[in-house]
Amino acid sequence: MSNHSPLSNESLGPSSPDPDRSHDQPDRTSLRSIKGPAQFLSFWVAIALPFIHLPLVAQGLGNPQITLTFLTLLAVNVFALYVGHGYKQ
Containing structural domain, residue 72:
49-89
In a domain, 87, yes or no: yes
> How many CB atoms within 10 Å of residue 46?
20
In a domain, 26, yes or no: no
Whether the predicted model's global pTM rises above the 0.85 cut:
no
In a domain, 43, yes or no: no
In a domain, 16, yes or no: no
CA dihedral 54, 60, 61, 64 (to 10 degrees): -120
In a domain, 6, yes or no: no
**71 band by pLDDT with thresholds 50, 70 and 90:** very high
In a domain, 81, yes or no: yes
pLDDT digits (tens, 9 = 90+) for 8-53: 555 555 555 555 555 556 777 877 788 888 899 999 999 999 999 9
Q: Which of these ranges, 29-38, 46-55, 62-71, 74-83, has the smallest mean pLDDT?
A: 29-38
Q: How many domains does the chain have?
A: 1
In a domain, 69, yes or no: yes
In a domain, 72, yes or no: yes
